[in-house]
């Protein structure tokens, strides 16, 4: 299978001086020594609630929160909780790629407020999440960054072996929720649409949590599917509705290696006529082949991300028949996997 990507190697803590020979150019790339002061210790997960107020059209307080990430910056989320002390199960909700900071989080939480109200009524904490920007194809080359020893300053600077990627922000949010006194640390799940669905797959291959619901997950990186010039397209939209076309263009060895590390139960929602339906279905098939705890549901619905029930323009809640069904499917799934009796 052809690849149309630029590979950028990560510098590790090994003692190495690599000579890159390019016609007419000689460049030396140096790295930290593996000796020196021990790696700095990461601080525990935490967040700062900057304000608490009900979302438009609701009476439940929403905590506008910034959560510490792996590389010690902060990512924005909004947390809503039921009345009472808990501990409650919790669900993260994300849509697409990370962008627009807290503005996107607030807009999404307000659009989903009626749906979230019904999740709160069933005893769930709900966290609307966002992430850093996506870096295309970086995931296929990267490994989870580690703290490195400091062989230069004589101190213990916080040094990393590589960059932090967007799916690691989801892990940071889950770890933060698990640290809250009113959240059941063994009862945290995640749901996400499109790229946010793929981030659940990536996160679950590195960190185990209660359950994931992936809605039309755009897993082209997770399965190493060819998206180069030879991939089928209509205009600028890639066409991977047919699972057999995807199978021919995916790297099974790499995909199955990532799937093999997953211990989180996963429910995948497809959409029959979506241009990436073959990717959604192949994810399910390979997880099933690997013996993972996975379920599949797919519907013929006109709206991308249909499982997320957005408020109507007038603020009302009017799910169609399919959306009513999918709501009960995923809530029953979370009830089974993350809602524990206390």
* pLDDT tens by residue, 136-185: 999 988 888 899 998 898 899 999 989 999 999 999 999 999 999 999 99
Residue 144: the pLDDT is 84
Burial of residue 198 (CB within 10 Å: 0-12, 13-18, 19+) is buried
Q: What is the percent of the chain with per-residue pLDDT over 70, rounded to a whole number?
A: 90
Residue 11: the pLDDT is 40
CA–CA separation, 126 vs 92, rounded Å? 6
Centroid of chain to Cα 67: 15
Residue 12: the pLDDT is 43
Whether the pLDDT of residue 132 is over 50: the answer is yes
Residue 89: the pLDDT is 98
* Dihedral, CA of residue 115, residue 267, residue 223 and residue 73, to nearest 10: 50
Average pLDDT (313-338) is 97
Residue 18: the pLDDT is 37
What is the band of 340 on the pLDDT scale with cuts at 50, 70, 90? confident
What is the band of 127 on the pLDDT scale with cuts at 50, 70, 90? very high
CA–CA separation, 281 vs 43, rounded Å? 39
With contact defined as beta carbons under 8 Å apart, do 304 and 274 qualify?
A: yes
Q: What is the pLDDT of residues 285-306, one digit of tens each?
A: 999 999 999 999 999 999 999 9
Q: What is the pTM of this model?
A: 0.89
What are the chain's domains? 39-338 (3.40.50.1820)
What is the H or E stretch that residue 341 is in?
none
Average pLDDT (309-316) is 94
Q: What is the mean pLDDT of the chain?
A: 90
Whether the pLDDT of residue 104 is over 70: the answer is yes
What is the band of 33 on the pLDDT scale with cuts at 50, 70, 90? confident
Which of the pair, 39 or 91, is modelled with greater confidence?
91
The dihedral through the CA atoms of 162, 261, 334, 287 has a sign that is positive
Whether the pLDDT of residue 31 is over 70: the answer is no
CA–CA separation, 112 vs 150, rounded Å? 46
Centroid of chain to Cα 330: 17
Bridge pairing between strands 88-95 and 74-80: unpaired
What is the H or E stretch that residue 177 is in?
helix 166-179
């Amino acid at each position: 299978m052809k690849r149309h990507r630029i590979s950028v190697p990560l510098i590790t803590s090994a003692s190495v001086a690599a000579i890159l020979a390019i016609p007419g150019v000689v460049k030396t790339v140096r790295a930290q020594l593996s000796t020196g002061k021990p790696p700095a210790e990461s601080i525990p997960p935490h967040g700062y609630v900057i304000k608490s107020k009900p979302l438009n059209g609701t009476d439940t307080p929403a905590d506008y929160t910034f959560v510490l990430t792996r590389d010690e910056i902060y990512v924005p989320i909004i947390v809503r909780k039921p009345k009472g002390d808990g501990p409650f199960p919790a669900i993260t909700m994300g849509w697409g790629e990370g962008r627009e900071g807290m503005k996107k989080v607030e807009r999404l939480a307000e659009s989903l407020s009626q749906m979230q109200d019904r999740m709160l009524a069933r005893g769930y904490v709900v966290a609307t999440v966002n992430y850093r920007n996506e870096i295309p194809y970086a995931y296929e080359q990267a490994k989870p960054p580690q703290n490195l020893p400091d062989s230069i300053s004589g101190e213990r600077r916080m040094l990393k072996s590589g960059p932090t990627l967007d799916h690691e922000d989801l892990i940071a949010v889950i770890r933060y929720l698990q640290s809250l006194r009113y959240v059941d640390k063994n009862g945290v799940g995640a749901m996400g649409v499109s790229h946010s669905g793929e981030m659940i797959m990536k996160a679950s291959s590195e960190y185990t949590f209660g359950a994931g619901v992936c809605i039309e997950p755009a897993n082209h990186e997770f399965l190493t599917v060819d998206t180069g010039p030879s991939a089928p397209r209509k205009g600028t939209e890639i066409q991977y509705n047919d699972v057999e076309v995807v199978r021919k263009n995916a790297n099974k060895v790499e995909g199955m290696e990532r799937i093999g590390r997953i211990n989180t139960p996963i429910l995948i929602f497809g959409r029959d006529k979506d241009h990436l339906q073959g990717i959604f279905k192949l994810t399910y098939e390979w997880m099933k082949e690997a013996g993972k705890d996975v379920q599949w549901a797919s519907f013929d619905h006109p709206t991308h991300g249909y499982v997320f029930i957005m408020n109507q323009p007038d603020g009302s809640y009017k799910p169609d028949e399919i959306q009513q069904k999918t709501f009960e499917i995923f809530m029953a799934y979370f009830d089974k996997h993350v809602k524990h009796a206390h």
